[in-house]
């Protein structure tokens, strides 16, 4: 209903969505609506998209949104129904994500995208983004975790058969909060609801503090009218009321200092809000970014190699080349790469072979021929076991070009979801203790790159002597970062992790791999033997317990126990951030693998 300057952009994002079979049904109250010509022009521009316009014939109830949408619902022909407001911008794979989530379990009836905002200029827009990215998103995340009913009609998908069991869309014609009552009715029939891995990107043309206050105030009035008890509990979702209550509670129970508890709660709260907002943030295309040369050293193959390499051929970046580096033309992976090059002829891809050894490091020997022919100003090194998300290259390029002195950006190592206890254990290891090293190192400005998946500026590396300068270092990633830092360049981490996706992991192979890294670190920096145990829960907890006992006379066992609860909670939250969605293992399984890793 109506239009603004962003309407065409938002609607175009649906016409260009990457999903194999969908229809668009545009619902208007009247043929005189000023947005009708915009929609008709888009339908003419994209004739291959199945698009229809419906007009409201009459009112069927009290809810104007249901009156508007019901004619479209009646002509919808597919088993999945998505409702999306006109202010929503959809990422290319957004519909795919919603469809995969709702079809992942037979009893899932409704999947919601958590409301968030596109990046827009202006203080009011930034304030709105912080609101939706922190306190508002936590309601959905916590509600989904606890199994509460918290859908939004802004952008959701549901199974038509499930809605028909509730009486169809017309059954909600007299409810103003139709999304809430839809979720409630589905739950009463045994269906579950969930959240998408991607947020709903609101992209209205302009927001003012007044319009934002009126909008949020309207929601509050509606909630209070339906559930007056929210007046009592809603303040508890905010930092300071919750912190004050918690401070007096722990003072009563454990005699802990009240101001210190409030201060620590504040630090924890703002850190968690910042982390949640980082998760909500998405990448937007930017054609001003430079091209990327992606060097992929390969030796041998496994059953996941083709899947991993395909994720690079199909990457969503406007200008890149793939350079596959082999030790020998006889490598068994060469036919796999050649087949992919034939399958994707529009992708600029090259195969390089090692002519001779230039130094002690076999990986540098392998990659140097590819580096010498790379033609773009950004160089990415990515192992053959890495699976890349569609916007992963875009994220790396945006991060490294965000500051002139950034010379290196690393993706934190993590793992794809795979079956098997060893694979789950590996995922917990990389998603908790290992990722914290990178997060803490990046926060403190330490040098902690990984050669598994990184991007750097070629000009910066040339100042260090090029790739060949590291031919005699086994930990080439560490020394590359060290050399860049010595020349005034900074390093950082990507918003997305490096998704390791080797075919199979055993406890033995994992132990050998991690043990090899430990030997290399000890050989380079023997002092790590003294400090590395401090990154684990129980050694750190014991030291802290005796310290606070000495300083504040606090109970040692209670301090160790509280440290344990805080540590495992933070590890779980960090792993959820790395996963960017629900874990494939249960909470009990996570705790079991977490204890196994700690001991």
Catalytic residue set: 477
Distance CA 423, CA 597 (A): 13
Distance CA 65, CA 173 (A): 8
Distance CA 185, CA 192 (A): 10
Between strands 108-112 and 192-195, the pairing is: parallel
Please enumerate in sequence order all residues whose Cβ is within 8 A of that of 445, keeping only pairs 6 or more positions apart, or say none: 490
CB atoms within 10 A of CB 428: 26
CB atoms within 10 A of CB 459: 11
Q: What tokens were used for 390?
A: 């569609």
Longest dimension (CA), the chain: 79
Place of tokens 């990507």: 494
Counting Cα atoms < 13 Å in the Cβ hemisphere of 225 gives: 9
| Cα distances (Å, whole numbers) of residue 143 to 73, 148, 149, 193, 406 | 28, 5, 7, 10, 39
Distance CA 547, CA 554 (A): 9
Q: What tokens were used for 409?
A: 């950006």
Distance CA 482, CA 160 (A): 57
Between strands 378-382 and 453-457, the pairing is: antiparallel
Q: Nearest Cα to 15, choosing from 54, 39, 52, 46?
A: 46
Q: What tokens were used for 194?
A: 């969930």
Query: Would you list the DSSP string of 181-221?
Result: HHHHHHHHTT-EEEE-SS-EEE--S---HHHHHHHHHHHHH
Can you give the C-alpha Rg of the chain in angstroms?
A: 27
Distance CA 379, CA 368 (A): 12
Distance CA 476, CA 358 (A): 14
Distance CA 150, CA 195 (A): 9
Please enumerate in sequence order all residues whose Cβ is within 8 A of that of 552, keeping only pairs 6 or more positions apart, or say none: 257
Residues 514 and 431 sit within 8 Å (Cβ to Cβ): no
Please enumerate in sequence order all residues whose Cβ is within 8 A of that of 261, keeping only pairs 6 or more positions apart, or say none: 243, 246, 247, 250, 251
Q: How many angstroms from the chain centroid is the CA of residue 278? A: 8
User: What letters, b where the CB count within 10 A reaches 16 and e where it falls short, cover 554-584?
Assistant: beeeebbebbeeebbebbbebbbbbbebebe
Q: What tokens were used for 39?
A: 């929609």
């Amino acid at each position: 209903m109506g239009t603004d300057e962003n309407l065409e952009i938002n609607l175009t994002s649906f016409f260009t969505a990457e999903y194999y079979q969908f229809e668009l049904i545009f619902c208007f109250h009247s043929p005189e609506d000023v947005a009708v010509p915009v929609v008709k022009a888009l339908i003419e521009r994209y004739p291959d998209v199945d698009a229809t316009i419906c007009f409201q014939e009459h009112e069927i109830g009290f809810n104007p949104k249901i009156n508007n949408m019901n004619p479209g619902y009646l002509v919808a022909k597919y088993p999945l129904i998505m409702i999306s407001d006109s202010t929503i911008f959809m990422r290319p794979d957004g519909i795919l994500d919603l469809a995969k989530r709702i079809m992942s379990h037979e009893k899932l009836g409704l999947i919601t995208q958590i409301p968030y905002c596109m990046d827009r200029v202006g203080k009011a827009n930034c304030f709105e983004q912080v609101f939706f990215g922190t306190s508002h998103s936590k309601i959905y995340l916590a509600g989904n975790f606890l199994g509460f009913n918290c859908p939004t009609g802004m952008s959701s998908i549901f199974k038509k058969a499930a809605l028909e069991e509730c009486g169809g869309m017309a059954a909600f014609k007299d409810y103003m909060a139709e999304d809430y009552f839809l979720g409630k009715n589905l739950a009463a029939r045994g269906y579950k609801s969930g959240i998408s891995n991607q947020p709903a990107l609101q992209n209205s043309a302009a927001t003012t503090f007044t319009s934002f206050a009126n909008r949020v105030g309207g929601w509050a009035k509606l909630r209070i009218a339906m559930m007056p008890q929210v007046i009592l509990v809603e303040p508890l979702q905010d930092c300071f009321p919750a912190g004050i209550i918690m401070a007096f509670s722990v003072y009563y129970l454990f005699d802990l200092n009240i101001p210190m508890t409030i201060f620590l709660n504040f630090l924890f709260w703002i850190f968690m809000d910042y982390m949640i907002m980082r998760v909500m943030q998405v990448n937007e295309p930017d054609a001003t970014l430079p091209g990327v040369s992606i060097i992929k050293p390969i030796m041998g193959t496994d059953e996941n190699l083709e899947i991993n390499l395909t994720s690079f051929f199909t990457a969503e970046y406007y200008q890149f080349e793939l350079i596959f580096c082999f030790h020998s033309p006889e490598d068994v992976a060469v036919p796999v790469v050649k087949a992919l090059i034939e399958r994707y002829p529009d992708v600029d891809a090259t195969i390089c072979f090692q002519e001779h050894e230039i130094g002690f490091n076999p990986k540098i020997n392998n990659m140097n021929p590819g580096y010498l022919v790379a033609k773009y100003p950004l160089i990415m090194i990515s192992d053959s076991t890495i699976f890349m998300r569609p916007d992963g290259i875009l994220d790396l390029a945006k991060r490294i070009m965000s500051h002139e002195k950034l010379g290196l950006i690393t993706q934190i190592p993590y793992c794809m979801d795979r079956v098997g206890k060893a694979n789950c254990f590996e995922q917990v290891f990389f998603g908790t203790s290992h990722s914290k090293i990178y997060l803490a190192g990046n926060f403190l400005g330490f040098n902690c790159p990984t050669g598994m998946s990184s991007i750097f500026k070629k000009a910066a590396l040339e100042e260090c002597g090029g790739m060949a300068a590291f031919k005699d270092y086994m930990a080439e990633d560490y020394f590359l970062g060290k050399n860049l830092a010595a020349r005034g360049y900074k390093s950082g981490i990507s918003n997305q992790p490096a998704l390791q996706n080797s075919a199979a992991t055993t406890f033995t192979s994992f132990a050998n791999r991690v043990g090899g890294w430990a030997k290399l670190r000890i050989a380079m920096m023997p002092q790590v033997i003294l400090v590395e145990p401090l990154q684990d829960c129980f050694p750190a907890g014991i030291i802290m317990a005796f310290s606070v006992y000495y300083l504040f006379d606090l109970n040692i066992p209670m301090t160790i126990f509280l440290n344990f609860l805080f540590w495992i909670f933070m590890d779980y939250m960090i792993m959820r951030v790395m996963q960017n969605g629900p874990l494939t293992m249960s909470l009990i399984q996570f705790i079991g693998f977490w204890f196994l890793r700690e001991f």
